[in-house]
Amino acid sequence: MHSLPQSLTKADQSRLIRAYEHLEYPSFAARLSSVVGTPIEMAMKLLPRTWYLNIQHCAEGCISKALDIAISNVRHKQGPRSDDRRYKMMGIATGAIGGFFGGPALLIELPMTTTVMLSSIANIARSQGEDLNSLETRMACMEVFALGGRSDSDDAAETGYYGLRMALELPIASASSFLAQQGLAARGNAPALVSLITTIAQRFGVVLSEKAVAEIIPIIGAAGGAFINSVFIQHFQDMAHSHFTMRRLERKYSPALIQAYYQRLKQNRATLVESKSTPINRRLPKAA
């Protein structure tokens, strides 16, 4: 049995840093704000209260459908590379529907967009050496929807990427155990699967709300909806690339080593931020 390497190559260190930047700062709202020219946090006030409930129900429906597809048969093409552009173009097409018909059409468009995103996420997973026949890989694909929906109010946001993976660990393990024992035919409304859907949908719903707000801001109708969807798809593609890069590095080295490097990055960034925010006279050593 070969021992795993104890240090990362420079190339893998660079890959880990790129993944870190996306996974620790996954602000979809910031991306949208730069596109529509309006701070999404302010624009959220434009969304009727009843819409939040509708969007949460929509999020649960989208995740339920995505999970159903994931555990049944994730479609994918053979080949060494992911095809992000093709899936982004498909997402742009579905986004144009929501933009053209306006508000209510969003609830029709989102399930289609989510299905496209799942296919793209699975394709990215395969390009990083994941086995799509594995239930573990398919559940890792579902994790991406939650990873892309972190917010400041999320309890797991304080501990970042690994904190959210830990928060998802129990729901995913319970769902996987149920599927392994009962099979796909018995999935129905199994509590283990319902719990997983709810956990992921709570975070995915944050992003859907931000997307909904951007689409009701009067920009360019169908063209605006298509453009917003391209940002939406890109956001989750970036999260998928980063998540499966982390998983590949964990397989190549070890989970403990990669997490140690990752936490060291967090500590270094936190120290740098604290240093910048501390007045210069407090950072200088006292004179003897």
What is residue 69's predicted lDDT score, i.e. its pLDDT?
86
Identity (one letter) of the amino acid at 121? I
DSSP structure class, residue 156 = G
Element (H, E) at 213: helix 191-216
CA pseudo-torsion sign 53, 171, 84, 108: negative
Query: Helix, strand, or coil here: 74?
Result: coil
CA distance to 156, 209, 229, 239, per residue, from 165 (Å):
9, 23, 26, 13
What is residue 283's predicted lDDT score, i.e. its pLDDT?
45
What is residue 238's predicted lDDT score, i.e. its pLDDT?
93
C-beta separation of 246 from 6 below 8 A = no
What is residue 268's predicted lDDT score, i.e. its pLDDT?
85
C-beta separation of 70 from 175 below 8 A = no
Taking the C-alpha atoms of residue 114 and residue 189, their distance in angstroms, rounded to an integer, is 21
CA distance to 56, 58, 82, 275, per residue, from 110 (Å):
12, 8, 23, 43
What is residue 1's predicted lDDT score, i.e. its pLDDT?
46
CA distance to 12, 65, 75, 185, 283, per residue, from 69 (Å):
32, 6, 9, 13, 55
What is residue 288's predicted lDDT score, i.e. its pLDDT?
37
Q: Which two tokens stand for residue 157?
A: 């946001």
Taking the C-alpha atoms of residue 158 and residue 166, their distance in angstroms, rounded to an integer, is 12
Series of mean pLDDT values for 10-residue runs along the chain (288 residues): 73 94 79 64 69 85 89 61 73 63 67 87 93 92 89 57 92 90 69 91 87 66 68 90 96 94 86 52 42
What is residue 188's predicted lDDT score, i.e. its pLDDT?
65
Question: Which residue from 193, 109, 203, 222 is spatially nearest to 157, judged by alpha carbons?
Answer: 203
What is residue 286's predicted lDDT score, i.e. its pLDDT?
45
Question: Which residue from 177, 157, 180, 179 is spatially nearest to 169, judged by alpha carbons?
Answer: 177
